[in-house]
Amino acid sequence: MAIHSAVFLQSATIVAGIGASAAEFAGFSDNKLMDSLDLIARHRRHLDTYAAWAAGEIAARSRLEHGYGGLAQREGFANAVNLVRSRAQTTHAEASKQVALGTMLAAAAAAAAASAPPDYPSSPSPSSPPQTAVPPSWQTSISAALVEAVVSADGIEAIRRGLGEVDVAVSEIALSAASEQLLAEAEGASADHLLRRARQMRDQLDADGIALRERRRHEARSLTRWIRRDGMYQVSAVLDPEGGRTVFAAFEAILGPRGGGPRFVDPAEKERARAITDDPRTDAQITADALVEMIRIAAAADESTLFGRSRPAVRVVVTEAALAQPRTDGSSSTSHGYIEGMPDPISIETVERHLCDTGSVGIMFDGDGRCLNVGRERRLFTARQRIGLAIRDGGCRFGDCDRPASWCEAHHIRQWSRDHGTTDIADGVLLCRFHHLLVHNNHWEIVREGASYWLRPPPGDDPLQSLRPMPSRSVVMTEMAALGSRG
């Protein structure tokens, strides 16, 4: 896999001709500015490949078997990552990514050389990775996508890390199919989105390992505390998804009116939101004060007090099929559920614990993902309808927005007054406050075709008004769709 020099030189020439100063860019029209960004991004993807090639070869020349004679060691560094970080003046994370991708590309090149016809032998360099370093064939497609500048280095690394390695539970064929699907979804997707999708696919391929991974995350939790020299007390915590979501939900409930959370209709809630917005303290100060107050209340509570009347809004989502799945050994199950807004699945045991503690609300969906049993005649979406929307949409459906469902508002596709629309969940979608206001103020429209939703931009933004997909963020709905497609 090699970049044709003519393609790279053409890309460099185009980028160099875009402009030579901030003043020139300031004079661009909106369309030219966006086109320029696309051209620059594509050229950067080419450069990422060169950076990976260099980092991969540095890693090869710095392998452990070279000892202190390795390239990085002779330059005074413990390993290739530290050398790349220093010479490229970049972060440790960026250098690690370049080394990982470079090693993958070098191994892919070695694999291609090993399979070359005997009439045209390839002579690997002394520093080329040994045959044992040849990667699984599933990485061949993502290596090609990087070299061809189809996907950014960040996107490729997200796919590689998210899918993980071949093992007894996940075959090379399965990872190859998953990587091909992710590459097909990569256009217009951020690296963060690709990492979430890759992790979801890995979990779907290895359902047996969900409980183990959940337990490992739980065991990795920690909290450290110390007193600084200036007399301030400092705390640093790493929480597992279940505990972290509980803490974050509490803080989001406190800071919601400030951070773009949903607006309130109830007068009392409006007044509370106004008080929080007008509070002179910073968000960090409010959060710190809230944490101290929570601990003070808990520490002073009577031991006989039963807490639970009011708790952070943390919902667990699970399908009936998952709950009904028989236990494989009488004690454990390969089925799972999700904490709403979190991409990582949780074991069925954790789901059952939550159901025992808080009960359940049944929401029915048909085979196309349409919600069936939440009502449709009231002006405002009810709490039950919002639960249905949260499960179906998984958060804001506008573009690549990552706002969770708890921070979203329910938007009527067919507006109540203008279009005489009903409060039907099929004609509602979740949008965060920013995108909800943008849709109304900038005159975007949302179109529904069956169970699919599309954005239609205003003519001023797109004269053709080309429809843009609004995919669900819900992992549960993705799994249900996959099960339906398999019959």
pLDDT tens for the chain, 487 residues: list them: 566 677 888 889 999 999 989 999 999 999 899 999 999 999 999 999 999 999 999 999 999 888 889 999 999 999 999 999 999 999 999 999 999 999 999 988 887 777 656 554 444 444 444 444 445 578 888 998 998 888 999 999 999 999 988 888 888 899 999 999 999 988 888 898 899 889 888 888 888 788 888 888 899 999 999 999 999 999 999 999 888 888 888 888 787 776 666 766 667 777 777 888 888 888 899 889 989 988 888 777 665 554 444 555 667 887 777 777 766 554 556 678 888 777 788 888 887 777 776 666 666 666 566 665 555 444 567 777 788 888 888 889 998 888 888 788 888 887 654 555 566 778 888 998 888 888 888 888 899 888 889 999 988 888 888 999 998 888 887 777 666 655 5
Q: Which residues contact 297 (CB under 8 A, 6 or more apart)?
A: none
pLDDT of residue 480: 73
Give the closest residue to 206 by CA, choosing from 391, 343, 345. 345
pLDDT of residue 130: 46
How many alpha carbons fall within 13 Å on the CB side of residue 367?
5
**Exposure b/e, 213-246, CB count within 10 A at least 16 = b:** bbeebeeeeeeeeeeeeeeeeeeeeebbbbebbe
pLDDT of residue 134: 47
Which helix or strand (DSSP H or E) is residue 37 part of? Answer: helix 30-60
Q: Which residues contact 410 (CB under 8 A, 6 or more apart)?
A: 381, 385, 386, 389, 428, 429, 430
For residues 406 and 433, the answer to whether their CB atoms sit within 8 Å is no
454 vs 54: CA distance, rounded Å = 43
Q: Which residue has the tokens 């807490």?
A: 307
pLDDT of residue 123: 45
**Is residue 329 helix, strand or coil?**
coil
Per the document, the length of the chain is 487
pLDDT of residue 410: 84
DSSP, res 463: T
Sequential DSSP letters for 117-143: -TTS-----TTSPPGGGPPPTHHHHHH
Give the closest residue to 101 by CA, choosing from 147, 33, 167. 147
114 vs 309: CA distance, rounded Å = 66
pLDDT of residue 40: 94
pLDDT of residue 25: 95
pTM check: above 0.85? no
- List beta partners, residue 336: 347
392 vs 363: CA distance, rounded Å = 10
Torsions phi, psi for 221 (to 5 deg): -65, 150
Q: Residue 64 corresponds to which amino acid?
A: L
